[in-house]
Structure 1
Amino acid sequence: MAVAAITETRQYLTFKLTEEVFAVDVAEVREILEYSTITKVPRTPLFMRGVINLRGSVVPVVDLRLKFGMPATEPTINTCIIVVEIDLAEDQLVLGMLADSVQEVFELAPESIEPAPRLGTKLDTAFIAGMGKYLEQFIMILDTDRIFSAAELAEVQPEVAVANG
């Protein structure tokens, strides 16, 4: 979802990782859960914190702070799990993302969204759909389908099958 693909006013859920504010399209969010016990799964990528039981379904939980090169999330009273749906080739993966806190839901018009900055050729910013300007601050709008590479998602998906077996 590049800025050019954002042609209408949309609602975004904002959340914090350390002191940075990020946002995802509300349409991609299934629900927000209080932090609960996460069952660690051996031999998974560092950012993969484990799995949770969501009404009988096994849902992998990732630590976005680790994925983005920040220190690991230390659970507090405000820590939550944002459950999103990620589009794969012909399927959808339900995934939990740890967040330090959820802020608010707000609407943002396309003209309030700038393209993601180009940070050189070695840094991949494809996962940033754009930079939204809201209340005089910039908010990184994430493209949940592009945060993780296909290879990373392939590493996460088999764990779900193993956990179900």
Structure 2
Amino acid sequence: MTSADTVVTFGIGKADFALPVAPVVEILDARDISPLPRAPAHLLGLIDRRGASVPVVDLRRLLGQPDADDTDRTRIIVLRLVGRGAGAQHVGLRVDQVTEVTQLDDAGSEPLAEAELLRWHERMVAGIGRREERFVTMLDVDGLFDGDLRDLVNEGGVQ
């Protein structure tokens, strides 16, 4: 497995998603999140990660899915985003469960333009792949955190 082809697969409800492993710093168990006043609904608040404040985004809310309570399988995927100007920023994505670090079947994912699916989230989706006979939506990290959301994350947390 090369790191360029390696992904972290995870679930939101009954849907399977993946992110490239390169920006993943670590995967944490669910923990208390300190809310931020007047933050948008998808920005849950901050967690402490080794003395640094890390903003946490609820991927369910970001993708327009209904809320769900945390379970013993809920995880926070900490990502390293390369920021505009100030350098790298860490952000957490709350997901229902992390499945595995693996490669997608058949050499990765099909570009979204060819898949003709999920047009309403096109900026967030890099493509559609398969893993063990299931569809996996490959998310675009830059698309998830572009524009206003990246600015909110940069304001919400400190490296």
TM-score, normalising length: structure 2 = 0.87
Find the aligned partners of 1:16 and 1:160 in 2 and give their Cα distance: 25
Tell me the residue number matched to 1:46. 41
Change over 3 Å in CA distance of 1:62–1:98 after alignment to 2:
same
Find the aligned partners of 2:16 and 2:10 in 1 and give their Cα distance: 6
Return the offset for 1:72: 1.8
Amino acid at match of 2:68: T
Gaps of 5+ in 2: none
Tell me the residue number matched to 1:159. 156
Find the aligned partners of 1:87 and 1:110 in 2 and give their Cα distance: 29
- Does the 8 Å contact 1:9/1:109 carry over to 2? no
Amino acid at match of 2:74: T
Change over 3 Å in CA distance of 1:55–1:112 after alignment to 2:
closer
TM-score, normalising length: structure 1 = 0.84
Tell me the residue number matched to 1:101. 97
Q: Are 1:15 and 2:15 matched, yes or no?
A: no
Amino acid at match of 1:114: E
| Per-residue Cα deviation, 1:71-110 (whole angstroms, up to 9, x for no partner) | 1231111111000112222422210000111101112377
Find the aligned partners of 2:153 and 2:70 in 1 and give their Cα distance: 22
Give the paired residue count. 154
| Per-residue Cα deviation, 1:127-149 (whole angstroms, up to 9, x for no partner) | 21111122122101111111133
Q: Are 1:130 and 2:127 matched, yes or no?
A: yes
Change over 3 Å in CA distance of 1:120–1:158 after alignment to 2:
closer
Amino acid at match of 1:126: R
Gaps of 5+ in 1: 1-7
Residue identity over aligned pairs, in percent, reads 33
